Amino acid sequence: MEAGALTLPHGGGHDEHHGPPPANRSSRVDAPTLGMLLFIISEIMVFGAFFTAYFFIRVVQGAEWPAEGTHLPQAIAGVNTAILLSSSLTMHWTVMAAKADNRAGMRAGIFTTALLGFTFLFIQINEYVHIGFSPSDSAQGSIFYGLTGLHGAHVFIGLMLLCFVAIRVFRGHFSSAHHRGLEIPGIYWHFVDIMWVVVFTTVYIL
């Protein structure tokens, strides 16, 4: 070693760091919420594929909608829309109750939301039973069942999330300081409601 060379202690004069570097938090949105938003974006793309087929039949081919000899129950679907939108309001009420440490409000809100969701799904299934046509009868029938069935599957998934959340609510897991586990399923439920408004408007009304 040359004269005057500086001998550094082990580690090169700085603290050692073991393991991977800390994650870069460039986003102002917390990771769980960001993950749910990215998932919702991917689901919008899935719905977009079905809407593309819908508009291809109606706009490009100019086919009659619904198919000749078939009828869509607009009144029943309208009632179902009101039910699902009401569930979005009760979900928002549940989150607000959590932020206010209102445990009774949380319990009533999550129970009402789940009840409205199951009611929507029951009416949708009953509509399938009595609608009078099947997916194999026409391209219009395939798209109708595809869009409404895809949405129904999302409602079912949302209801499973709500059931898990309801268990935690009745066990007293949420408070004004800790309610993220309630907000994130709520974001998904609001997405399901908004998507139904789009489906209802395009399939039943236009």
Q: What is the CATH number of the domain that holds 175?
A: 1.20.120.80
Angle at alpha carbon of residue 53, lines to 51 and 54, rounded to 5°: 60
Give residue 8's pLDDT.
Answer: 47
Give residue 24's pLDDT.
Answer: 56
Give residue 145's pLDDT.
Answer: 95
- Ranges of residues in the chain whose predicted pLDDT is under 70: 1-27
Give residue 1's pLDDT.
Answer: 45
128 located within any domain: yes
Strands (E), 82-157: none
pLDDT tens for each residue of 130-152 = 999 999 899 999 999 999 999 99
Give residue 176's pLDDT.
Answer: 86
- Give the range of the structural domain holding residue 195, as residue numbers without chain letter: 31-205
Count of domains observed in the chain = 1
15 located within any domain: no
